[in-house]
Amino acid sequence: MKKLLAILLCILLVISTVTSAYAIEYGNDVDINCGDELGEDSNEPTTVLIEANNKGVLGGYLTKSDGSYTANAYPKSTFDGWYDKTGALITTNPTVTPEALGEYYAARFTTENLINDSGFENYTSGQKIYDGSNSAKQKWTVHNETSAAPLTASWANLYASDTYSKTGNISSKMQPPWQLISTDVKLAPNTLYYIGFDWLYTTKVAGTAITNLNYGLFVPNSSNKMVAMEAGSTTSITSNNIAVATWNKTGFVFETGDTVPNNVVFGYTYKVDNPDSSVSTDDENNTQLYMDDIMIIPTEKFDITLDATNVATIVPVNGSANGFAVKGEPYSFTAITEPDITPAVSVAGEALTADEKGVYSFIPTANSTIKIDCGAADEGKPAHGKDYEGRDLTKYNADVYLKNIWEGDTVTTKPQCL
Ligand SMILES: [Ca+2]
C-alpha cells in the first residue's frame, strides 16, 4: 500500500505541477523515479524525477546508493543539474544526498536523442520491454517479421537484461530472430540524423551466427507491412564472422526531406544462420541479440580529405568510406604506404599516433584534411588521385574512397553506412 501511495502521489505531483513530459509517463519508470523506499525516511524527498525534454525524451537515468542519487547521462546527452519544485537549480553535482531535500528533485539533461530511455536503464533486469502475451502496441513493439501489427505470442518478448550492458547496467535482449522490433520516432524535416546503436549477440549453438541485422526508419504501407521509410532510411549489417559476446557499434546518417511521415518507427530485424536444426531458434539457449544506447540524433557531417602523394592512401576503419565524418563520432583509419615508409600523419597540424593495430583516430569538429607526409618518398610524386600532369584520376570514379583535397563535390554524400 505504501508503494501504491508513493506511486499515486508521484503521478499526482507530475500531473499537477509539471508542465513538460516527465519520465513518469512510463509505468516501468515508477519504481526508479518514485520508488517505494522514497518517503519512508523523513530525510528523503517525496519524489525524485528524471525530467524529459520537450520531445518527451529522457537524457539519462538515476542510480541510488546508500540513499544518495546519481544522475547518469546517456551517450550524446549531458547532465544539466538537479532542480527543485520551482525550477530553481540546486546543484550541478550529479550525486545528491537525502539531507535537506525539498519536496522533490528533478534531474535535468540536455539531449537531442529521439529515442527515449535509449540505454534501457529505467527497466529492471528480466522485465518485459515488450510483452508478447499482450497484443497492444507498446513503447517497444515486436512484429511478426515485417507486419505492422504487434505480434501476439508467448515467446515474442523483448526483455531488459543485466547480462550485458554497454553503459549502465541494462540492455535490451531479443531472442527469436526474424521479427521486427520497433519504437515510434518523431523526425523533423530537412534534418541530417545519425542513427546508430551498440549491439552484441550470444549463442550456445556451435556455428550459429547473426548473418543479417537490418535497421533504420520504417513506415507501414497500404498492405500493413513495414517497409523502409524511403530509399536510404535503412541499412544492413551482413556478416557471419562477428565475434560472440562482444559489443559492436554501428550507425549511418540519413537526411530527411521537406516532409516526414508521421508514423515513422525506428526498427530492426536480425537473422541467424542456424546449422544445428535440432535446436529451435526459439530455444532460450539459442542466439540472442542485445542492444544498448540507441541513438537517433540530429548531426552534422564533415568532409574528410586526403593530402598525400600517390605513395600513400588511407583506409577508413569506423568512419565513412566516402569521405565524410559525423560530428562527435571518432574517425579512424589506417595509413597505407609503399613499403619501408613510416609516414608522419597529422590533422590540422596536430600529429596523430597509431595504436598497436596501426589505427589512427580523431574526432572531427570541422571539415578535416588528413596529411600523410612520407618525407623523401614524396619527392617528385604526383598528388594522391592525380597523375604526373596533375590530371584528376578520381573525378569519374564512383568507387573512390576519399574525396581528394583538390576535388570538388564529386562523391556521393548521402546516405552512407559508416
Ligand atoms: Ca544500458
Compute, in angstroms, the gap from residue 166 CA to the centroid of ligand 1: 6
Compute, in angstroms, the gap from residue 370 CA to the centroid of ligand 1: 34
Exposed, middle or buried: residue 101 (CB in 10 Å: 0-12, 13-18, 19+)?
buried
Tell which residue, 362, 404, 364, has the closest CA to residue 382.
404
Give the amino acid at 270. Y
Q: Of 93-107, 216-230, 301-315, which range is least confident? A: 93-107
Distances (CA, A) of 103 to 19, 164, 194, 254: 17, 36, 38, 43
Compute, in angstroms, the gap from residue 293 CA to the centroid of ligand 1: 6
- Binning pLDDT at 50, 70 and 90, where does residue 49 land? confident
Q: Which three cell numbers stand for residue 57?
A: 525524451
Grid cell 605513395 in the structure block, residue? 311
Domain ranges for the chain, please list them. 2-111, 128-298, 301-404
Task: Write the DSSP symbol of residue 6.
Answer: H
Note the pTM of the prediction, 2 decimals. 0.72
Compute, in angstroms, the gap from residue 254 CA to the centroid of ligand 1: 24
Distances (CA, A) of 212 to 239, 250, 270: 6, 13, 5
Compute, in angstroms, the gap from residue 172 CA to the centroid of ligand 1: 8
Compute, in angstroms, the gap from residue 165 CA to the centroid of ligand 1: 5
Compute, in angstroms, the gap from residue 196 CA to the centroid of ligand 1: 14
Mean pLDDT to the nearest integer, 100-107 = 72
Tell which residue, 173, 124, 180, 132, has the closest CA to residue 291.
173
Q: Is the dihedral of CA 35, 173, 54, 92 positive or negative?
A: positive
Distances (CA, A) of 96 to 48, 221, 310: 11, 49, 58
Tell which residue, 348, 181, 349, has the closest CA to residue 270.
181
- In the sheet where 248-255 sits, what is the strand order? 128-130, 158-161, 171-174, 288-298, 192-202, 248-255
Compute, in angstroms, the gap from residue 33 CA to the centroid of ligand 1: 17
Compute, in angstroms, the gap from residue 62 CA to the centroid of ligand 1: 12
Mean pLDDT to the nearest integer, 305-332 = 82
Compute, in angstroms, the gap from residue 118 CA to the centroid of ligand 1: 7
Specify the higher pLDDT residue, 107 or 29.
107
Q: 57-76, pLDDT tens digit by residue?
A: 889 998 888 878 899 999 88
Rg (CA), the chain: 25
CA distance 278 to 275: 9
Q: For 24-27, which contacts have Cβ atoms below 8 Å and span 24 or more sequence positions?
A: 24/49, 25/52, 25/56, 26/116, 26/117, 26/122, 26/139
Contact (CB, 8 A) for 297 and 327? no
The pLDDT assigned to 13 comes to: 34
The pLDDT assigned to 102 comes to: 66
Q: 127-138, pLDDT tens digit by residue?
A: 999 999 987 889
Tell which residue, 130, 105, 155, 103, has the closest CA to residue 284.
155
Mean pLDDT to the nearest integer, 387-416 = 55
Compute, in angstroms, the gap from residue 239 CA to the centroid of ligand 1: 25
β-pairing, 192-202 with 248-255? antiparallel
Compute, in angstroms, the gap from residue 292 CA to the centroid of ligand 1: 5
Mean pLDDT to the nearest integer, 18-37 = 32
Does pLDDT of 267 surpass 90? yes
Compute, in angstroms, the gap from residue 168 CA to the centroid of ligand 1: 5
- Binning pLDDT at 50, 70 and 90, where does residue 396 land? low
Mean pLDDT to the nearest integer, 212-239 = 93
CA distance 140 to 144: 14
Compute, in angstroms, the gap from residue 358 CA to the centroid of ligand 1: 30
Q: Is the dihedral of CA 13, 18, 24, 25 positive or negative?
A: positive
List, in sequence order, every residue forming a beta bridge with 127; answer none if it has no partner: none
Q: Which three cell numbers stand for residue 352?
A: 596523430
CA distance 80 to 93: 9
Compute, in angstroms, the gap from residue 199 CA to the centroid of ligand 1: 11
Sorted by sequence, the CB contacts under 8 Å of residue 246 that are 6+ apart come out as 200
The residues placing their C-beta within 5 Å of ligand 1, an ion, are: 119, 165, 168, 170, 292
Per-position DSSP letters for 23-78, written without gaps between them: GGGSGGGHHHHS-TTTTTSTTS-SEEEEEP-TTS---EEEEEETTEEEEEEPTTEE
Contact (CB, 8 A) for 298 and 193? yes
The pLDDT assigned to 22 comes to: 35
Compute, in angstroms, the gap from residue 300 CA to the centroid of ligand 1: 25
Compute, in angstroms, the gap from residue 247 CA to the centroid of ligand 1: 12
Compute, in angstroms, the gap from residue 84 CA to the centroid of ligand 1: 27
Contact (CB, 8 A) for 105 and 92? no
Compute, in angstroms, the gap from residue 77 CA to the centroid of ligand 1: 14
Architecture of the structural domain at 128-298: Sandwich (2.60)
- Binning pLDDT at 50, 70 and 90, where does residue 214 land? very high
CA distance 229 to 260: 9
Compute, in angstroms, the gap from residue 312 CA to the centroid of ligand 1: 41
Does pLDDT of 165 surpass 90? yes
Residue 23 gets the label, from left (phi > 0), alpha (psi -120 to 50) or beta, of alpha
Does pLDDT of 279 surpass 50? yes
